[in-house]
Amino acid sequence: MDKGAGRPRRELTGNADGEVSDRGNGRDVYPYRVEKNETYVITFIDRETRQIVGHKVSENKSAQIIQGIADSSPKAESYHSDGYAAYAETLYHGNHHAHLDKSETYTVEGVNSDLRKYIPGFARRSKCFYRRLETVIAVMAVFVRAFNKFALKKYHTRKLACHNPSCKSRLHKYKESPFALIHFLP
């Protein structure tokens, strides 16, 4: 038996303003539309331990925001970033090196990949998203706390996979840790 049998067929039409008219019963449907705001997660990463030593969730990525992170983060001898102009305007405690390629920013790119992997709202905009900036800030606070514990434990327990002293390969230099990030969530 056809489920649609006996029901009048409804016809939906729409216009350029996003208004939808339902001709089946004469009512108009106005979908809730909101301008999407850009939200940025800016991170400072320790290359050796892979810990997030500074981060900020903001609606802009201005030099003032980045300066605030640099001032509140632990001091380092050198800082590496991509070619974004606001990084060049920031005053660092050590030497700053801007790279147009990923040759020296691979650690932060790896952590950004982990952010997209473990936080669903950062993975795909259409499937899962956060409605409020405060939610993103809270999610980042929980993630950074767990991720830093994980990174530090992983740093202290890592074992070399390459036992041959003449081995120069950096690929798979360390064995896989016997624990995962999930073990460090509250």
How many residues does the structure list for the chain?
Answer: 186
Q: Report the 10 Å Cβ neighbour count for 78.
A: 12
Q: Is residue 139 part of a domain?
A: yes
Give, for 43, the enclosing helix (H) or strand (E): strand 40-45
Amino acid residing at 179: F
Q: Is residue 160 part of a domain?
A: no
Q: What is the mean pLDDT of residues 97-117?
A: 85
pLDDT digits (tens, 9 = 90+) for 136-164: 899 899 999 998 988 888 887 775 555 55
What pLDDT is attached to residue 169? 54
What pLDDT is attached to residue 64? 94
Q: Is residue 4 part of a domain?
A: no
∠ CA(22), CA(23), CA(24), 5° rounding? Answer: 90
Q: Is residue 181 part of a domain?
A: no
Q: Does the pLDDT at position 6 exceed 70?
A: no
- Beta strands 20-22 and 28-29 are antiparallel
Q: What is the mean pLDDT of residues 70-95?
A: 89
What pLDDT is attached to residue 98? 87
Residues 47 and 42: their CA atoms lie apart, in Å, by 16
Q: Judge contact between 98 and 82, C-beta under 8 A.
A: yes
pLDDT digits (tens, 9 = 90+) for 45-81: 998 888 999 999 998 889 999 999 999 999 988 888 8
Q: Is residue 5 part of a domain?
A: no
Q: Is residue 23 part of a domain?
A: no
- The more confident residue out of 182 and 13 is 182
What pLDDT is attached to residue 159? 59
Q: Judge contact between 94 and 88, C-beta under 8 A.
A: no
Domain count, the chain: 1
Q: Does the pLDDT at position 91 exceed 70?
A: yes
Q: Is residue 116 part of a domain?
A: yes
User: 66 is in which domain, residue-wise?
Assistant: 40-154
20: confidence class by pLDDT, cuts 50, 70, 90: very low
Q: Is residue 186 part of a domain?
A: no
